[in-house]
Amino acid sequence: MGSLDHNFKKSGFNISSMPNSQQEKIVIGEAGYVLEDVPHLSDYIPNLHTYPNPLQDNPSYSVVKQYFVDVDDTVAQKIVIHKNSPRGIHFRRAGPRQKVYFEPDDVYACIVTCGGLCPGLNTVIREIVCGLYYMYGVSRVMGIDGGYRGFYSKNTIPLTPKVVNGIHKRGGTILGTSRGGHVTKKIVDSIQDRGINQVYIIGGDGTQRGAAVIFEEIRRRGLNVAVAGIPKTIDNDIPVIDKSFGFDSAVEEAQRAISAAHVEATSFENGIGLVKLMGRDSGFIAMYATLASRDVDCCLIPESPFYLEGRGGLFEYIEHRLRDNGHMVIVIAEGAGQELVSESLKSSDPSGNKLLHDVGLWISERIKEHFSKQKKMVINLKYIDPTYMIRAIPSNASDNVYCTLLAESAVHGAMAGYTGFTVGPVNGRHAYIPFNRIIEKQNKVVITDRMWARLLSSTLQPSFLRTRDIIKENKEEEPLTQLADNSTTNDNLMEKQILC
């Protein structure tokens, strides 16, 4: 394990540990090279034994040339750089090592799923179990029933290749899940008392925060236990990694709802199909489903504020589309427009997530009220909410392969003695990423980026930004004449978009 660190020391480079709760391992190299490394059991447990990797005698892998990953291999966070820019941040490359830090017969692993459902959970569970069994000869694996609280309040589920054989064809998680229930001392006590030495934690950013705390307590106690996280969020809002598992399946299934909305909208006079998709804080599913569909006239996401009434507002745009096309399809992410609905709901769920209003139901009622009462215009609006149907589906072919790679990378990392890490693809190569990088922020749609521009070009919707800013400035006592001039200008721009 120490080859990379040794090479950098020998070359005169600087290795520093940044003083924070995560005790980050930072390796500084030439030309601005920075390795954000993950912890290793040998960092705090001296004189650990190593063993030859059982894969070297596995007939299934004997045909692979250079199957083992070199300990010096890293993955660059940014693949596009300028000619004279630094080499930038790197992460340790995932994959099997020639030496492992666990005897297969001594391994007692556990798997837990936390948070909401997501396509692919069962596939990850299956491939962790099968990876441990078929690649490393580990036969003792158990599932924790019911999320974090299952460590101390529920029964466990023995997991073998036979038990998990066909679960990838089912939605949900065979282990059950829950939100909250994270009591660090009880969880680590249970891990210690049961003799567990590998913990695989599948969940979103809140779950990974919990995994980081569990790892810190395990390290504080000096336990020989590897903690590996597999990031899960259907919203694709995990930073650093290319995408999260289940996202492709969600976008594909969202197409069915959009297609149904389009059929409804085109079958009636002034038909409007309104589809609410997942996306509490990030609108990736709504954006990619809109781009893939090409039947959507307006996509509303949390990152892009919008307003309803007045020049350049949503109501005016709907009126233009109905007048020109006779129908319209709107996609809205569940977290969009929450500031418009009400300020009355302030409570949170057990995971600390703010409870959201049903913005789809709210906006459908506002649209009906505006056009029937104020405009005296007949519309036929159909509201479709496929949220929980999408979460509950099995993963598609793309996600099944992706989940397999995630699970196997996590198993390779734990067997090699790495701990306190999350696994995921960075620029197409799987890497071990420190927990702190995964939980430091949420990945969001950048509405000044080319992908959002592609969406605007596809839907021809206004961005809503310019007029919104003008209205805000007007409230701050901007001269009325200036507002009128700017509003007229923006109106003309919107007309051009609609007529294209």
- Binding annotation for ATP: 116, 179-180, 204-207
Pseudo-torsion of CA 239, 245, 247, 253, nearest 10°?
Answer: -170
Answer yes or no: 235 catalytic: yes
Reduced 3-state DSSP string for 34-71: EEEECCEHHHCCCCCCCEECHHHHCCCCCCCCCCCCCC
> Which of 5, 37, 145, 235 is labelled catalytic?
235
What six digits make up the tokens of 218?
Answer: 């395990």
Burial label, 84 (beta-carbon count in 10 A; 0-12, 13-18, 19+) = exposed
Binding positions for substrate: 233-235, 278-280, 334, 388-391
- The vertex-481 CA angle with 480 and 484, nearest 5°, equals 85
DSSP annotation string for 283-338: -HHHHHHHHHH---SEEE-TTS---SSSTTSHHHHHHHHHHHHSEEEEEEETTTTH
Is residue 107 classed exposed, middle or buried when 0-12, 13-18 and 19+ CB atoms within 10 A define those classes? buried
- Rounded CA separation 193/173 (Å): 25
Binding residues: 116, 179-180, 204-207, 233-235, 278-280, 334, 388-391
Packing angle, helices 121-130 and 397-415, rounded to 10: 40
User: Terminal CA-to-CA distance of the chain, rounded, Å?
Assistant: 60
Which of 138, 127, 112, 128 is closest to 58 using CA atoms? 138
State the DSSP code for 230.
E
Detail the residues annotated as belonging to a binding site for Mg(2+).
205
User: Which residues are catalytically annotated?
Assistant: 235
